[in-house]
């Protein structure tokens, strides 16, 4: 199978590139062309400076952003930049932003002040801002006005144009702003780097059609678009042949995958096909909207051994009244029924969730319904969020915004209960021998490694770094709250 990097190298050494007078119109060739121009530019700069050119990516938000960042890093590496985490000594810095809650926004503005001081010290530094925040007109307005030192601003729909945008900035000399209000297509076959050599995210759909009333994502990520199954499978096969053993299929709502395709395909069917790829040993996916979770998917999870026994199933609230206001389109009873069916089909399934506290109009009774769901489901872990008002969403103009002190009190009570459930669930595996994917050398003790169980729990155990990327049997000897200490079981 052809590797994207190989395809780029072949193009860049061809006459098509060397003799080209203008960029090709079609993608991804057009971006390969700009990667080629950047590579020459990077090389000239390196000669002049007597050192490499460094680039640093800062990623906020969810797995979608993380994957987009890997794509940008893939382009930068192909262009000859060296990735680094040290912001102080970089030549190009990217902030891939999130706007799902106000605090994600505030953090970026906070960092911009620092970037300004950095640029004063290094005037050649290129600063790029992208991601979900940039899809909001008021944000871009503010950057144009008050943050003139920023070099490149682009959004979520044109990440594939990254090479071209950098070129535009270095050849044009002034701030480049390119925001699309929708995506016209999905550009395939661009390079992507990976944080871990043995696991990778794979986009299966982009955008969201659900318009939960509190959520900004559909506005900044656009309508739902599924990738063609052939493209997904080709990427998974390429990753497998490159040493990847675990993949995470990514979409805002993977359960509605494929409904928009010319030849519709269910998510369960996609899972079956991905499961057939040799070399892939573990499959995860995120996120599942409860309203679209089919019995077919439950059955597929039970039947396919490579699919991890873990499901992230955001409930958001346990009150049917609030769920309706949130436009989630399921009730407390329907959610609990789903959980019962999941537990019946996959007895050891680990369930995790997202909960919002303080949605407008949430009463004590509503909150107690949420506590009741947490108690009944007994989640392995739970991401709890304080409701954050997002301008432009229906919930932002709903009456009865809940006072801060009430939210704080509810949040603390929820956190205590969630902690109890997680501790109970985590402790259940003590003494078991389980398959663990070894991810890295332990942060605190270099004689230990850290790995992940199928249900997403971490295990630390004595072993060497040569096991990184392998799935090995580990006996769980000690439970320390939310993780385990274990020992490698040597196979006879
Ligand atoms: N598509 C995914 C999640 C996307 S955002 C899903 O539907 O599950 C991740 C989480 O952020 C959401 O599940 C929700 O719990 C939280 N969230 C989204 N908007 C929020 C807001 N305005 N305030 C607080 N939390 C929010
Ligand atoms: Fe937001 Fe709802 Fe879409 Fe998730 S499903 S991204 S919470 S609108
Ligand atoms: Fe944030 Fe965008 Fe993800 S708003 S949560 S980075 S889709």
Task: Give the model confidence (pLDDT) of 59-81 as tens digits.
Answer: 999 999 999 999 999 999 999 99
Q: How far is the CA of 389 from the centre of ligand 3 (A)?
A: 15
Ligand 3 pocket check for 100: Cβ under 6 Å = yes
Ligand 2 pocket test, pick from 212, 286, 317, 395 with the greatest ligand atom count within 8 Å of Cβ, gives: 212
Query: Is the pLDDT assigned to residue 398 strictly greater than 80?
Result: yes
181-194 pLDDT, tens per residue? 999 789 999 999 99
pTM: 0.95
Where is pLDDT greater, at 384 or 481?
A: 384
Q: What is the pLDDT of residue 3?
A: 80
Reduced to 3 states (helix: H, G, I; strand: E, B; else coil), residue 174 is coil
pLDDT confidence band for 481 (50 / 70 / 90): confident
Helices marked H in 50-172: 63-79, 102-121, 137-146, 162-172
Ligand 2 pocket check for 211: Cβ under 6 Å = yes
Instruction: Report the chain's mean pLDDT, rounded to a whole number.
Output: 96
Q: How far is the CA of 215 from the centre of ligand 1 (A)?
A: 6
pLDDT confidence band for 4 (50 / 70 / 90): confident
Could you count the other beta carbons within 10 Å of the beta carbon of residue 173? 9
Ligand 3 pocket check for 336: Cβ under 6 Å = no
The predicted model gives 17-36 an average pLDDT of 94
Query: Is the pLDDT assigned to residue 313 strictly greater than 60?
Result: yes
Which ligand 3 atom is at minimum distance from the Cα of 65? 6
pLDDT confidence band for 14 (50 / 70 / 90): very high
Least distant ligand from the CA of 63: 3
Q: What is the pLDDT of residue 184?
A: 78
pLDDT confidence band for 89 (50 / 70 / 90): confident
**76's tokens:** 């930068």
Least distant ligand from the CA of 287: 1
Query: Is the pLDDT assigned to residue 47 strictly greater than 80?
Result: yes
Q: How far is the CA of 69 from the centre of ligand 2 (A)?
A: 21
pLDDT confidence band for 332 (50 / 70 / 90): very high
Query: Is the pLDDT assigned to residue 216 strictly greater than 80?
Result: yes
The predicted model gives 199-213 an average pLDDT of 97
Query: Is the pLDDT assigned to residue 163 strictly greater than 90?
Result: yes
Which ligand 2 atom is at minimum distance from the Cα of 208? 3
Ligand 3 pocket test, pick from 94, 100, 219, 221 with the greatest ligand atom count within 8 Å of Cβ, gives: 100
Question: Which run of H or of E encompasses 385?
Answer: strand 381-386
Q: What is the pLDDT of residue 490?
A: 85
Q: What is the pLDDT of residue 22?
A: 94
Question: Which residues, including other chains, have CB under 8 Å from residue 70's CB and lie 6 or more apart?
Answer: 192, 193, 194, 195, 201
Ligand 1 pocket check for 394: Cβ under 6 Å = no
The predicted model gives 102-118 an average pLDDT of 93
419-463 pLDDT, tens per residue? 999 999 999 999 999 999 999 999 999 999 999 999 999 999 999
Burial 324-357 (b: 16+ CB within 10 A, else e): ebbebebebeebbebbeebeebbeebbbbbebbb
Q: What is the pLDDT of residue 1?
A: 54
Q: What is the pLDDT of residue 86?
A: 85
Q: Is residue 400 left, alpha or beta, with left meaning phi > 0 and alpha meaning psi from -120 to 50? A: left
Query: Is the pLDDT assigned to residue 492 strictly greater than 70?
Result: no
Distance between the two ends of the chain, CA-based, in angstroms? Answer: 36
Q: How far is the CA of 132 from the centre of ligand 1 (A)?
A: 14
Could you count the other beta carbons within 10 Å of the beta carbon of residue 403? 10
Report the C-alpha gap between 230 and 239 in whole angstroms. Answer: 14
Ligand 3 pocket check for 99: Cβ under 6 Å = yes
Q: What is the pLDDT of residue 2?
A: 65
Beta bridge partners, 316, equal 355
Nearest CA owner, ligand 1 atom 18: 215
The fraction of the chain above a pLDDT of 70, given in percent, is 99
Q: Is 439 exposed, middle or buried (0-12, 13-18, 19+ CB in 10 A)?
A: middle
**137's tokens:** 């007109």
Q: How far is the CA of 349 from the centre of ligand 2 (A)?
A: 23
């Amino acid at each position: 199978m052809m590797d994207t990097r190989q395809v780029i190298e072949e193009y860049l050494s061809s006459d098509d590139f060397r003799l080209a007078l203008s960029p090709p119109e079609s993608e991804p060739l057009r971006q390969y062309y700009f990667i080629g121009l950047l590579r020459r530019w990077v090389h000239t700069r390196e000669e002049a400076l007597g050192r490499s050119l460094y680039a640093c990516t800062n990623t906020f938000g969810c797995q979608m952003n993380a994957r987009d960042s890997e794509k940008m890093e893939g382009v930068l590496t192909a262009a000859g930049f060296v990735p680094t985490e040290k912001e102080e000594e970089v030549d190009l810095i990217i902030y891939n932003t999130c706007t799902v809650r106000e605090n994600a926004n505030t953090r970026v503005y906070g960092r911009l002040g620092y970037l300004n001081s950095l640029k004063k010290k290094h005037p050649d530094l290129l600063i790029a801002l992208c991601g979900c925040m940039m899809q909001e007109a008021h944000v871009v307005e503010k950057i144009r006005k008050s943050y003139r030192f920023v070099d490149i601003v682009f959004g979520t729909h044109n990440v594939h144009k990254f090479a071209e945008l950098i070129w535009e900035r270095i050849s044009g000399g002034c701030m480049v702003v390119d925001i699309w209000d929708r995506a016209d297509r999905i550009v395939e076959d661009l390079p992507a780097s990976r944080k871990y050599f043995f696991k990778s995210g794979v986009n299966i759909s982009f955008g969201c059609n659900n318009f939960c009333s509190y959520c900004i994502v559909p506005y900044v990520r656009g309508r739902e678009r599924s990738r063609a199954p052939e493209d997904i499978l080709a990427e998974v096969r390429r990753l497998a042949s490159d040493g990847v053993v675990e993949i995470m299929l990514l979409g805002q709502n993977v359960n509605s995958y494929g409904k928009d395709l010319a030849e519709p395909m269910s998510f369960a069917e996609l899972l079956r096909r991905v499961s057939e790829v040799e070399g892939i040993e573990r499959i995860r996916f995120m996120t599942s909207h409860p309203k679209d979770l089919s019995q077919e998917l439950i059955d597929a999870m039970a039947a396919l051994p490579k699919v991890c026994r873990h499901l992230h199933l955001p409930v958001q609230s346990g009150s049917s009244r609030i769920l309706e206001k949130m436009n989630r389109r399921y009730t407390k009873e329907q959610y609990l029924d789903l959980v019962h069916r999941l537990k019946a089909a996959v007895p050891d399934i680990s369930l995790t969730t997202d909960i919002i506290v303080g949605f407008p109009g949430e009463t004590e009774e509503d909150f107690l319904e949420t506590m009741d769901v947490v108690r009944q489901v007994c989640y392995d872990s739970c991401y709890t969020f304080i409701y954050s008002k997002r301008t432009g969403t229906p919930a932002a103009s709903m009456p009865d915004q809940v006072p801060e002190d009430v939210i704080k009190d509810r949040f603390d009570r929820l956190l205590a209960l969630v902690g109890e459930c997680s501790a109970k669930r985590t402790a259940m595996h003590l003494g078991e021998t389980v398959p663990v994917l070894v991810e890295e050398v332990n942060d605190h003790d270099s004689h230990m490694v850290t790995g992940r169980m199928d249900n997403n729990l971490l295990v630390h155990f004595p072993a060497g770094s040569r096991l990184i990327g392998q799935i090995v049997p580990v006996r769980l000897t000690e439970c320390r709250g939310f993780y385990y200490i274990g020992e490698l079981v040597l196979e006879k």
